[in-house]
Amino acid sequence: MDYMDLKNKLTGMFDAGKLQAAPGEWGFFNETQREIHRVGYATNLTGEIIQRAGEAKVDFLLTHHDSWESPTPFSTRRWTMPDSAPARPWRPLWV
């Protein structure tokens, strides 16, 4: 599936008014245009989850909580992959 198609399907599942009312409560990170073949889901996002998703060849990682429950908005931070994880362009969404 095309990344933009997946993004549109995911955001289309939620009321647009609610999404606009709380823009800091959801988001996409590190967006790139590409095909998504495997979607992963994790309630909490940790370095171990990222590593395991890379090993499982996950193309898009969907999460409930942003990275390590940081008080800073997820979209303003830079992510680094664990050294042992395969390099993949992650695009987490938390809802």
Report CA Rg, the chain.
Answer: 13
Tokens read off for 74: 């997820």
b (16+ CB within 10 A) / e for 40-59: bebeebeeebbbebbeeebb
β-pair type (93-94, 39-42): unpaired
pTM over 0.95: no
Tell me the pLDDT of the chain (95 aa) as tens digits.
999 999 999 999 999 998 889 887 888 877 888 899 999 998 888 888 888 988 899 999 888 876 644 444 444 344 444 444 445 544 554 44
Domain ranges of the chain: 3-94
